[in-house]
Amino acid sequence: MAGRDDLAACADLVRRGDTDRFRAAMAAPPPARSVLFPLYAFNLEVARAPWVVSEPMLAEIRLQWWREALEEIAEGQPARRHEVVLPLAQVLDAEGARLLDTLVAARRVDLERAPFGDEAALWRYLDATAGTLHWVAARSLGEAGEEVVRAAGQAQGLAAWLRAVPELEARGRLPLPDGREAAVARLAREGLGRLGQARRRRAEVSREARPALIDVAGSAAMLARAAAEPARVAEGRLAPNPLRERLALIAAASGRW
- 130 plus 77 within the same structural domain: no
Q: Does 256 reside within a domain? A: no
- 96 plus 151 within the same structural domain: no
Q: Does 223 reside within a domain? A: yes
- 108 plus 119 within the same structural domain: no
Number of domains in the chain: 2
Q: Which residues of 93-106 are buried (b: 16+ CB within 10 A; e: fewer)?
A: eeebbebbbebbeb
- 123 plus 72 within the same structural domain: no
Last residue of a domain, one of 84, 112, 140: 112
Do residues 178 and 244 make contact, with C-beta atoms less than 8 angstroms apart?
no
Q: Does 257 reside within a domain? A: no
* Closest CA relative to residue 79, chosen from 3, 141, 137: 3
- 28 plus 102 within the same structural domain: yes
The residues near 21 (Cβ < 8 Å, ≥ 6 apart) are 14, 36, 40, 43, 215
- 8 plus 58 within the same structural domain: yes
- 171 plus 123 within the same structural domain: yes
Domain that holds residue 217: 115-240
**Degrees to nearest 5, angle at CA 35 with 257 and 40:** 70
- 233 plus 143 within the same structural domain: yes
pLDDT per residue as tens, the chain (257 positions): 456 789 999 999 999 999 999 999 999 999 999 999 999 999 999 999 988 877 889 999 999 999 999 999 999 999 999 999 999 999 999 999 999 999 999 999 998 878 899 999 999 999 999 999 999 999 999 999 999 999 999 999 999 999 999 999 998 889 999 999 999 999 999 999 999 999 999 999 999 999 999 999 999 999 999 999 999 999 999 988 888 889 999 999 999 99
- 82 plus 163 within the same structural domain: no
Q: Does 246 reside within a domain? A: no
- 120 plus 108 within the same structural domain: no
Q: Does 44 reside within a domain? A: yes
Taking the C-alpha atoms of residue 169 and residue 153, their distance in angstroms, rounded to an integer, is 23
Taking the C-alpha atoms of residue 203 and residue 73, their distance in angstroms, rounded to an integer, is 32
